[in-house]
Amino acid sequence: MWILRAGYPSTIPEIAEEPETQLRRFLRTRELQPGEAQTLIFKLGARDEMIWDPSMRSWTMVYGEFTVGIGHSSRELRLCGAFNNERAVVKTDAVPLAHCNTRLRLPSADVA
């Protein structure tokens, strides 16, 4: 099983009470034979870029740079990336991923 965690932009004061990253999706692979591969596609929607605003009693869009990490668990993220949803930024259908570094600040992130 693979998971996708996403982190809100760290510069937005409204998200101070939100967790640093949140589980957004998980996918299971079929039973793979040694050396076999399978492509997995994680899709995020607008709701994944919103937070609950109790004063307005509604979901509010958060703009800025979001981080994403993919791995077998939240402490073992192998691929990381980022996307920006600012209003002037062109929408992207794919987020480039690379081996994780300390950007998501998870203590046991796999960097090999």
The pLDDT tens digits of the residues spanning 14-39 come to 666 788 889 999 999 999 899 999 99
Model confidence, pTM: 0.73
pLDDT(12) > 90: no
Is 111 within the bounds of a domain? no
| Cβ atoms of 60 and 14 closer than 8 Å | yes
Question: Which two structure tokens, joined as six digits, stand for 60?
Answer: 């509010």
**In sequence order, what are the beta bridge partners of 51?**
60
Distance of CA 68 to CAs 33, 36, 109, Å? 28, 25, 13
Is 70 within the bounds of a domain? yes
pLDDT(70) > 90: yes
- Specify the number of domains making up the chain: 1
Is 109 within the bounds of a domain? no
Is 62 within the bounds of a domain? yes
Q: DSSP string covering 29-53, please?
A: ---PPTT----------GGGGEEEE
